[in-house]
Structures are given as structure tokens and as C-alpha cells.
Amino acid sequence: MNAAPARPAAVAGTFYSENPAELRSDVEAYLAAVTATPPAGEVLAILVPHAGYRYSAAVAAHGYKALEGSSFDTAVIIGHDAHARGLVAILSDAEAFETPLGPVAVDRDLVAGLVEENQSIVVHNEVHRRDHTIEVQLPFLQVVLPDCRIVPVLFGEPNPATCRAFAEAILRRRGSRRLVVIASTDLTHYPTGETSARVDHDTMYRVAAQDLPALFTHLKDAVRHGADDNIQTAMCASGGVGTALEVARAGGPVAVKVLHQANSGAVPGGDTRRVVGYAAAVITRADAATADATVAEATAAAPAPAATAAEPEPAEPVEPAFTVAPEVRRALLALARRRITAAVRRESWEAPPPAELAEAVGQPAAVFVTLHRQGRLRGCIGMTEARLPLWQAVQDMAFSAAFKDWRFTPLGLEELHEISIEISVLSPLTEVPSADAVRPRHHGVVIRRDGRSGLFLPQVWEQIPEKDAFLSVLCKEKAGLPADAWKDPATTLLVFTVVAFSEP
């Protein structure tokens, strides 16, 4: 390997202060400003941004706050995606990386082991010489974990397979080291602040849901469909995020908590017409129940309606009473299963309503179809207005949930026997005068204002049981409105009930 004695600081004085005392004071102030209590549990990895401190250090501090009080031997810091075809990772074997606070030692033994482990993992110190995505993390690391060594990494060709390959190399070569992965990444470049907030939320939802194929598909689609919004990338270091998840999950269930999100337009004098998005998140060890709960929490704030396999708890019905007979439920579930099966197998499809139930399923209805795989959301699509006969709405939404939910890759043949299907039939929407009329664990809610709208099924109460929080998340995350918009008399609130039934 072409070892270098030390890598000098490249962006001191531009991305952060070159004065040691001032730099340490800045970092300590950013950390002190974080008042939220980090999630409990062993920290395995963090995700933090890497822009100039003026723009993103306040966000990064949320991630490093989670490391306070921990003890690690080595931090694998993964920066920019180099998009180097055929390479998994590009490392540096310099003796140290320098900052105004002093040198940070490189764990050269681990670097050498990783290179030996996989021929697509290489050392190239020159590529690292001008990079800032690793360097800007070091002052925080020096304050929070002053004795921690580093493995500096620029990712090669990011995709789920290369993330898994690099994670496997780390796991095989880590030995007895206490190791943490730091994924150094910004999010959207360079849409408006409003677009950045929407796309970044969708991105971090997929990170929290721990679904790498869906994450990488989303990142590509965000750029492909975001040309008019000037989205040049949705995540500039996706390889690090994927690797962090793979390394963390190798030891059992994990929880991903998004700690903070912002963008460059939020700083004093920031330009909201052209921004870069930032987020901080932490990955911790968790038992299976906690891990599932964090995925459910992400699902509750997802960019499409979320649901669980549980039927809503009984409550006083909204008049008129609304039911779906048992034989109709069975017929509709069978219809949804046949529709998905035909599409997966590329068979032609033409299905009239079940003859014996033609009257019961011929009336227009609003429907959501939700797919779960091994207990986790695999797709959910629906309609809030009764535009189609019930039988047709079910088959159409079943197809869409399997193949058109852009949060997930299209359903594959190998998954067909692993999914379970849930159908939610909505009652007619009823406008209510205020949030006082919304009943937790019973009502689904639609919120509308200024041409924006959002919907939560009643099942979301399972994840957000407190009314104020439920309505605030609905406004902010689903409708793109201020979190307190539900309190405004100009906002329309509509409620509905759901008859939800699923395959045994």
C-alpha cells in the first residue's frame, strides 16, 4: 500500500475554524445546544451531514451527542460515493488525519485487513487528499471520542450488494475492536427548501424502515423524476448509510431513530430557493419488539397511508353503522390474492365481480389494500373517494400495492407466498367542526387546506395514540402543512371509520 505519513487538513478555515481554541469551543457549543435525550441502547452507528459547520454542524451534533459516554476503539467513517465502477470502497492508509485539534490516528491494521479481505476494496491516498466528507467529522470525534482511531472510507459503487460486501469485510476483520460506523452524508442537492423537506422526509423514512432496495430505488427515482425541481442527488453518500445498516443488523435487531432534519436554507441568510438537506440519525441495538416499533413509527409517518394487521378496537359506531359481511370479506381477500398472483406470474387478467356477491360488492367504495411480509409493511395503496365498485377497487388497489407503491420494489415471485393481505374498506367521509370530534383508536382522519391533504387510517393510532401528536404528524408529514394546522378553523377535518380484515 502507498502509505502516507499523515494527511494534512484540507478544509480548515473554510468548512470550520482553523483556530484550535475556537474550533473546540464551536464543537462544544453545538453539542451543548442539543437538549433532547438520545435513544437508549448500545449505539452501533450514526448518520450525520458533512457540509460547512455554519450550515450543518447543528444537525450533526445530534448524532454525536448520542456517542457521548460511549467507548470505541475504531470509527469507520464512510464519506462520499465516488461512483467508481467495480469498486466497493476506497480507503486511506495514512498514519493519521490532521485537524487544528491535532492528529487522528488511522487504524492501519484494519485498513490492511479490509484490503486483504476483498480485492474490490483498495487504498488510494490521493483520492482522499482533498475530500471534506471525512475531515469535517473529525473535530466532533476528537471532542466526543478523543482516543478513537479511524478507518477513512470513500464508497465505490453504491448499491445493496456492495454495501453488504463491505459490511461483511468489516465484520470478518473487526476482531475484538469496539467499532462504530459513521455514515457521513448530506441529502437533497439543490431543490427549494419545500421540496427538500418533502424528499428528505421520504428518504429518511426508508432509512428508518431498514429497507435498502427500497431506499436505493427511491434515491434513483428522486433524481429521475426531480429534474424540474433541480434535484441533482437525494443522498450523496448512500453507500455509507447502507453499510452502517448492514453492519449493525448483523448482530441482531436494531432500531433506527431520526434525531433531526433541516436544510441550508434554515440558517440566517440562507437561500430557500436552492438548498442542501441534512439529517442526523442513530442506529442502536434493540430487542425484536423495539425494532419493530421503530419501523412502525417510520411507517406511521410514511409518504403513503400506513396500516397494521390488527383490526381497530370496537367503539361506538359513527352513524350509519358500517359493516362488511364475513362472506364478502373472504371473497374480496381471495380476489386480491388472485389479482396479485396473476400479475406476478405475468398472466392475463379479467375478473368480473363474484356472481354470488354481485350486489354486495357492486356498490362504490373507498378502499386501501396493505401488504405485509414477515410482519413488516410491503406496500399500501388506496383511494379516499368511492369512485369504483368495491370489487374493482379491491383488485386495482391490490395490484397497485404490490407493484406501484414507490417506497418499495415491485413484488417478486419469490415473495408471493410470504405476503399477507389486509383490506380496509372506508366509510363515507364526514366533516367535523373541530378536533374535539375526532375519537382516538376509532376514527381515520383526512385533513385539507390550501389545496393540500393528508390521510391517516385508524390503524395509525396504534403507533401514535395521543390525539395532538396524531394530528400534528398528519398535518406536517402527510399534508405538508404546519404541524398545528389542525387547530386552524380554516382547515377542514373529515373523519371516517374502517372495516379492516386480513388473511388468516
Q: Please tell me whether residues 290 and 384 are part of one structural domain.
A: no
Cβ-count burial 276-306 (b if 16+ within 10 Å, e if not): bbbbbbbbbbbeeebbeebbbbbbbbbbbbb
Amino acid (1-letter code) at residue 94: A
Q: Is the pLDDT of residue 73 over 80?
A: yes
Eight-class DSSP state of 139 = H
The answer to the question of residue 492 being in a domain is yes
Q: Please tell me whether residues 44 and 188 are part of one structural domain.
A: yes
- Give the N- to C-terminal CA distance of the chain in Å, as an integer: 58
Domain count, the chain: 3
Q: Is the pLDDT of residue 1 over 50?
A: no
Q: What is the CATH number of the domain that holds 96?
A: 3.40.830.10
Q: Please tell me whether residues 481 and 337 are part of one structural domain.
A: no
Last residue of a domain, one of 300, 318, 341: 300
Q: Which domain holds residue 461?
A: 430-499
Share of the chain above pLDDT 70, in %: 89
| Contact (Cβ atoms closer than 8 angstroms) between residue 98 and residue 8 | yes
For 424, the enclosing helix (H) or strand (E) is: strand 419-426
Confidence of residue 465 (pLDDT cuts 50, 70, 90): confident
Report helix angle 390-403 to 326-344, nearest 10.
40
* Listed residue (401, 423, 419) closest to 410, CA to CA: 401
pLDDT digits (tens, 9 = 90+) for 289-319: 455 445 444 444 444 333 322 233 333 333 3
Q: What is the CATH number of the domain that holds 360?
A: 3.30.700.20
| Contact (Cβ atoms closer than 8 angstroms) between residue 151 and residue 73 | no
Q: What is the CATH number of the domain that holds 474?
A: 3.30.1490.150
pLDDT digits (tens, 9 = 90+) for 80-137: 988 787 899 999 999 999 999 999 999 999 999 999 999 999 999 999 998 999 999 9
Q: Which residue has the higher pLDDT, 422 or 295?
A: 422
Q: Please tell me whether residues 262 and 401 are part of one structural domain.
A: no
Q: Is the pLDDT of residue 454 over 90?
A: no
Phi, psi of 461 (to 5 degrees): -60, -25
Mean pLDDT over each residue of the chain, to the nearest integer: 87
The answer to the question of residue 313 being in a domain is no
Confidence of residue 355 (pLDDT cuts 50, 70, 90): low
Q: How many CB atoms lie within 10 A of CB 212?
A: 22
Confidence of residue 456 (pLDDT cuts 50, 70, 90): confident
The answer to the question of residue 74 being in a domain is yes
Q: Please tell me whether residues 240 and 91 are part of one structural domain.
A: yes
Q: What is the pLDDT of residue 289?
A: 47
